[in-house]
Chains A and B, each alone.
Chain A
Amino acid sequence: AQKITQTQPGMFVQEKEAVTLDCTYDTSDPSYGLFWYKQPSSGEMIFLIYQGSYDQQNATEGRYSLNFQKARKSANLVISASQLGDSAMYFCAMREGTEGGGNKLTFGTGTQLKVEL
């Protein structure tokens, strides 16, 4: 079963508009963390934002915010005031513990965002 599901392979948004990228997750670990990464065409992975499972408030980082709905197991990324430079692949990821003692980091399939003039 997919641990992280991103149902939008591609999204378009007009410059200066807000956009929401969807992410749902599945875990039985009570303590976990959720991340969003950006991958521009150059290929590097850029960390954007983090939400811990016990955090009461939604995380925000500049124009990025994470809409965390724990009961629904969703962690959507909201980008406000989109810019052309936001065009990239966006990955949702989850950190959870393992029986062996490690911290596993699992990614979704990604959403390709294109910002248009």
Chain B
Amino acid sequence: DVKVTQSSRYLVKRTGEKVFLECVQDMDHENMFWYRQDPGLGLRLIYFSYDVKMKEKGDIPEGYSVSREKKERFSLILESASTNQTSMYLCASSLWGGEAVEAFFGQGTRLTVV
């Protein structure tokens, strides 16, 4: 059974804290993605990575950074958490290229910054 696992389902952090959201996939996928999901705004792409140590900015990278040291793990980092980063964060992975390369999603992390 294919799996994308996010380290936490719920997280509460204080303003100004450095926050790490971890994502691990066991499908040997090249692509990994981080999205945030907010009501009325859909899923917005923060960062994605298509190879170890490779990353590209998505549509809303400000205030975030990422790390991909190993193929199976993609971390999202909030350098200094702010209340406007309270959201649901979704990690996804997919194979590189080819047809019908659907993305598989983790269960999501609901982050609250207080």
Contact = CB atoms under 8 A, between A and B. Distances in A.
Interface of A: 6, 9, 33, 35, 43-45, 47, 50, 52, 91, 93, 95, 98, 100-110
Contacts, number: 71
B50 A47 contact: no
B92 interface: yes
Q: Is the interface of B mostly helix, strand, loop or mixed?
A: strand
Interface in B38-70: 40-45, 48-50, 54, 56, 58-59
Contacts of A47: 102-104
Interface string B75-114: 0000000000000101010101101111111011000000
Interface residues of B, number: 31
A103 B40 contact: no
B53 to A, nearest CB: 13
Contacts of A91: 42-43
Contact of B50 (A52, A102, A108): A102
B43 A107 contact: yes
Contact of A104 (B43, B56, B105): B56
B33 interface: yes
B45 A109 contact: no
Nearest to B4: A45
22 contacts: A6-B42, A9-B40, A33-B99, A33-B100, A35-B102, A50-B99, A50-B100, A52-B99, A93-B103, A101-B54, A102-B31, A102-B48, A102-B50, A102-B54, A103-B97, A104-B48, A105-B45, A105-B94, A107-B44, A109-B41, A110-B42, A110-B43
